Chains A and B, each alone.
Chain A
Amino acid sequence: MLTPARLRQLWVCLALGVLAAVVTGPGGDSAHPFRALRRSVVDPRIGIFIGLAVGLWVLLIAVARLRPLLAEVTAAARARRPVAAALGGPHATTGLNAVLLAAAIVAPLLVSTAAQQSMVNDIGIYALLALGLNVVVGYAGLLDLGYIAFFAIGAYVTAYFSSSSAMPWHAPFVINPFFVFPIALLIAALAGVILGAPTLRLRGDYLAIVTLGFGEIIQLLANNSDEVTNGSRGVFGVPHLSVDLPGIHYRWGIDPLPYYYLLLGIVVVVMIAFGRLERSRIGRAWAAIREDEIAAEATGVPTLRMKLLAFAIGASVSGFAGVLLATKQFFNPQSFSLQSSFLVVAIVIFGGMGSRLGAVTGAVVLQGLAFYLRDKVPPTDRYIYFGAVIVVMMIFRPQGLVPSRRRRREIELAGTTAGASDQLGAAPIGRTIT
Chain B
Amino acid sequence: MGFADQFWQLTVDGLMVGSLYAVIALGYTLVYGVLQLINFAHSEVFMLGAFGGLFAARGLLPGGATPSGPASVGLVAAGLAVGAACGAAAAFILERVAYRPLRRRSAPRLAYLISAIGASLFAVNLAGKEFGRQNVPVPDLFTNGTLFHVFGAQVSTQTVVVLGAAVVMLVLLDRLVARTRLGQGIRAVAQDADTAVLMGVNVERVIILTFVIGGLLAGAGGFLYAMTFNASYNMGFVPGVKAFTAAVLGGIGNVRGAMLGGILLGLVESYGGYVFQASYKDVIAFLVLVGILMVRPSGLLGVRLGRAA
Q: Do A and B contact each other directly (Cβ–Cβ < 8 Å)?
A: yes
A contact residues vs B (CB 8 Å cutoff): 22-23, 27-31, 33-34, 36-37, 137, 141, 143, 145, 198-199, 202-206, 208-210, 212-214, 216-217, 220, 224, 338-339, 342, 345-346, 349, 378, 380-384, 386-391, 393-395, 398, 410-411, 414-415, 420-434
User: Is the CB of B37 closer than 8 A to any CB of chain A?
Assistant: yes
* A212 to B, closest residue via Cβ: B241
Beta-carbon contact of A430 and B193 below 8 Å: yes
Q: Within 8 Å CB of B110, what residues of A?
A: 137, 141, 143, 204, 422-424
User: Is the CB of B307 closer than 8 A to any CB of chain A?
Assistant: no
- Distance of A338 Cα from B238 Cα, bound (Å): 12
Q: Contacting A389 at CB < 8 Å: which of B35, B118, B286?
A: B118
Q: Within 8 Å CB of B197, what residues of A?
A: 432-433
Interface of B is mostly: helix
- Distance of A97 Cα from B210 Cα, bound (Å): 49
User: Is the CB of B68 closer than 8 A to any CB of chain A?
Assistant: no
Beta-carbon contact of B293 and A433 below 8 Å: no
- Distance of A401 Cα from B293 Cα, bound (Å): 35
A36-B129, A202-B297, A391-B118 given; A428·B37 CB < 8 A: yes
Beta-carbon contact of B130 and A27 below 8 Å: yes
User: Is the CB of B111 closer than 8 A to any CB of chain A?
Assistant: yes
Q: Which residues of B111-139 have CB atoms within 8 Å of chain A's CB atoms? A: 111-115, 117-126, 128-134, 136
- Distance of A162 Cα from B53 Cα, bound (Å): 52
- Distance of A429 Cα from B197 Cα, bound (Å): 11
Range for the number of chain B residues in contact with chain A? 35 or more
Beta-carbon contact of B131 and A390 below 8 Å: no
Beta-carbon contact of A380 and B125 below 8 Å: yes
Q: Within 8 Å CB of A393, what residues of B?
A: 118
Beta-carbon contact of B293 and A210 below 8 Å: yes
- Distance of A421 Cα from B136 Cα, bound (Å): 44
User: Is the CB of B71 closer than 8 A to any CB of chain A?
Assistant: no
- Distance of A339 Cα from B118 Cα, bound (Å): 11
Q: Within 8 Å CB of A391, what residues of B?
A: 97-98, 115, 118-119, 122
Beta-carbon contact of A433 and B203 below 8 Å: yes
User: Is the CB of B171 closer than 8 A to any CB of chain A?
Assistant: no
B contact residues vs A (CB 8 Å cutoff): 35-38, 40, 51, 55, 97-98, 101-115, 117-126, 128-134, 136, 193-194, 197, 203-204, 231, 237, 241, 244, 248, 279-280, 282-283, 286, 289-290, 293-294, 297
Closest 10 pairs (CB-CB, A-B): A390-B118, A387-B122, A387-B121, A422-B108, A29-B132, A213-B286, A427-B106, A394-B115, A391-B118, A424-B109
- Distance of A381 Cα from B122 Cα, bound (Å): 9
Most buried by A among B120, B122, B124, B237: B122
Q: Within 8 Å CB of B119, what residues of A?
A: 387, 391
- Distance of A121 Cα from B101 Cα, bound (Å): 36
- Distance of A116 Cα from B51 Cα, bound (Å): 41
- Distance of A429 Cα from B279 Cα, bound (Å): 40
* B285 to A, closest residue via Cβ: A213
Q: What are 25 inter-chain pairs, A to B, with CB distance below 8 A? A: A28-B130, A28-B132, A30-B231, A31-B132, A36-B129, A143-B113, A199-B294, A205-B109, A206-B297, A210-B293, A224-B279, A339-B121, A342-B121, A378-B129, A381-B129, A383-B125, A391-B98, A398-B105, A414-B105, A422-B110, A423-B110, A425-B108, A430-B194, A432-B194, A433-B203
Beta-carbon contact of B104 and A208 below 8 Å: no
Q: Contacting B244 at CB < 8 Å: which of A29, A209, A422, A423?
A: A209
Q: Within 8 Å CB of B121, what residues of A?
A: 339, 342, 346, 383-384, 386-387, 390
Most buried by B among A198, A206, A338, A339: A206
Q: Contacting A30 at CB < 8 Å: which of B114, B123, B132, B294?
A: B132
Q: Contacting B114 at CB < 8 Å: which of A143, A216, A410?
A: A143
- Distance of A422 Cα from B104 Cα, bound (Å): 16
Q: Within 8 Å CB of B237, what residues of A?
A: 338
Beta-carbon contact of B105 and A415 below 8 Å: yes
Q: Within 8 Å CB of A145, what residues of B?
A: 117
CB distance from B259 to the nearest CB of A (A): 20
Beta-carbon contact of B109 and A384 below 8 Å: no
- Distance of A414 Cα from B55 Cα, bound (Å): 44
Q: Within 8 Å CB of B131, what residues of A?
A: 28-30, 33
Q: Contacting A198 at CB < 8 Å: which of B51, B194, B280, B294?
A: B294
Q: Within 8 Å CB of A339, what residues of B?
A: 121
A37-B130, A206-B297, A342-B121 given; A434·B104 CB < 8 A: yes
A390-B115, A422-B109, A426-B108 given; A217·B286 CB < 8 A: yes
Q: Within 8 Å CB of A31, what residues of B?
A: 132
